[in-house]
Amino acid sequence: MSADEHIPVLLQPTVDALLHTPDGLYLDCTFGRGGHSRALLEKLSAKGQLVALDRDPQAVQAMGEIKDSRFRGVRSAFADLESALDLLGIDQVDGVLMDIGVSSPQIDQAERGFSFRRDGPLDMRMDPQAGESAADFLARAEAREIKEVIKNYGEERFAVQIATAIVARRAERPITTTLDLAQIVAGAVRTREPGQDPATRTFQALRIHVNQELAQLEQGLTAAFKRLKVGGRLAVISFHSLEDRITKQFIEKLANPKSQQDARLRKLPLPEPTPLMRKLDRIKPSKEECELNPRSRSSVLRVAEKLAEWPAGSSVGGNAWGA
């Protein structure tokens, strides 16, 4: 697969689940190279509309290749989707798609610094013009902070050893390239699952940290719910257990609000809290898709439907509604 190629994951199941009315207005929060957006446009009617967001400048450039009056693209992180919709004068939408994580072109381009298999600058930022690069983080962070990032975001059992090796190495010379880091990690990781590179979990953890991906997802889910119409659908594709867990818990909290209440409140003769979402589906890629696109193997699609607005005066995580 070349740097310019990208196979959208769970393409048909996502389009089928998300697009419940062809005349609707939909939001693709993670345009990438436009695979899902193009498939949605094919299914939309002449009255339908699609807005796409992405913070990667190369993805934004790719948006310009779509010459369709029903399509509008905006450079924005999906956590800021409300601001993007406000900019376009849009209040609510019929469906929201989030394809979480890094895209194939980002991995395959050495200069982006995402891959431990290609030597390049240790960057990892989805927006190269914003925030701190992975190299900058490793240059200034204490061993404890590096360990916590690798342990929490990479679920790496050798996080202490890796952090210690990184700090020891940077005392000799800066860690500036992907292969520099991959070699340090390889020397610190004693064993690894068959077929998995020793650096896999560390690179994943640093990417998630540098781009604040979990916080972005939490903010994006909340914003997506607010901007969905009642009856609208949310579709989220995750590749990592932490991302999928956040999505699952968010949907569960809205679909089953009573389960989120304090145990003491559940015993009182109070009105049943109104479910705000309905879980529709959880889809994994088929065997055929995994063979065609090995990067799809860890993906999972969760789909939910909005049933009602938040009660006045409450918010996600707020006590007013038992969340």
| pLDDT, averaged in runs of 10, over the chain (323 residues) | 62 95 96 93 97 91 94 94 96 96 55 64 85 93 97 93 96 93 90 75 92 93 97 95 94 84 57 87 94 88 95 53 38
Contacts 24+ apart (CB under 8 A), 243-247: 243/100, 243/101, 243/213, 243/214, 243/217, 244/300, 244/302, 246/214, 246/217, 246/218, 246/221, 247/217, 247/221, 247/302
Which architecture characterizes domain 11-104+213-321 according to CATH? Answer: 3-Layer(aba) Sandwich (3.40)
Domain with CATH 3.40.50.150 in the chain: 11-104+213-321
pLDDT of residue 6: 64
Which residues participate in the annotated binding site?
34-36, 54, 78, 99, 106
Q: Which residues are registered as beta bridge partners of 278?
A: 305
pLDDT of residue 1: 36
pLDDT of residue 220: 96
pLDDT of residue 184: 94
Rounded to two decimals, the pTM is 0.85
Which architecture characterizes domain 127-210 according to CATH? Answer: Orthogonal Bundle (1.10)
Which residues participate in the annotated binding site for S-adenosyl-L-methionine?
34-36, 54, 78, 99, 106
Strands (E), the chain: 25-28, 49-54, 71-75, 93-99, 228-238, 277-283, 300-306
pLDDT of residue 4: 44
pLDDT of residue 114: 56
Domain with CATH 1.10.150.170 in the chain: 127-210
